[in-house]
Amino acid sequence: MTLEGIKDIVNRLQPSPQAMLVRVLIVDNDPVIREIWRQMLLTLDVKVVCAGATREAIEEIDEGADILLLDWKLDRTNGSSVLDRWVRTKRGPAIVISGYIEEIDVGELYLRGARNVLAKPIQIATLRAIIMWYRRYVLTENGLQEMRIKTARLERTVLILVLLFASFEGPRAIEWVAKLMM
């Protein structure tokens, strides 16, 4: 095995920068609002996925997301099935936003698992601050622990590769490993 082959293996084992991003799911039936929120969130170093209907939202939840931004009025129903699925899968924070806040039992939404219930129109600065706070929360609670596990696995894998390499290359292995670490 060549030095380039070993470097390629090590690079493939390292977690990608995308793996460190927090994934935010925006669920709103209004495509204009989805796009405005999506553009704003992209500036916060998060990965954004969007859904315009209940079925799409449930599919995206099943794909995995860390933060839910949910418009309560979806399709011809409300977002209850989306919120219920989110909570059942033990995902991160759910933020419910609605233009019909006076028609909603806000207390029930908190009991069902929403972390925030906000009224539309929402100030972009407010939404940005909430997402930034939850992004830090998700990285602290989930991301850092996951990265520690991945780093430990990577270190163990690299050590095994180095030992295998040394067993085949003998004395030249130390020189090659030194080059690899540069």
Contact indicator for 82, 27 with CB cutoff of 8 Å: yes
pTM for the full predicted model = 0.66
Residues 50, 85 within the same domain: yes
pLDDT over 90 at 96, yes or no: yes
d(CA 140, CA 138): 5
Indicate whether 106 and 127 sit together in one domain.
yes
Residues 102 and 21 in one domain: yes
Q: What are phi and psi of 120, to 5 degrees?
A: -85, 150
Question: Do 164 and 77 share a domain, yes or no?
Answer: no
Same domain, 103 and 152: no
Name the token pair of 132: 């930034």
Q: Are residues 36 and 107 in the same domain?
A: yes
Contacts of 31 (CB under 8 A, 6+ apart): 52
pLDDT tens track for 45-73: 788 999 998 889 999 998 888 899 999 88
Kindly state whether residues 75 and 158 are assigned to the same domain. no
pLDDT over 90 percentage in the chain: 21
Domain tally, the chain: 2
49 vs 21, residue with greater confidence: 49
Distance of CA 95 to the CA centre of its chain: 15
Please tell me whether residue 12 adopts helix, strand or coil conformation. Answer: helix
Domain that holds residue 152: 3-13+145-181
Residue in this structure with the two tokens 């979806």, named with its chain if needed: 74
73 and 56 in one domain? Answer: yes
Q: What is the pLDDT of residues 101-157, one digit of tens each?
A: 878 888 888 888 898 899 888 888 888 899 888 888 776 765 555 655 666 667 677
Alpha-carbon distance 139 to 147, whole Å? Answer: 9
Query: In the prediction, which pLDDT does 18 show?
Result: 47
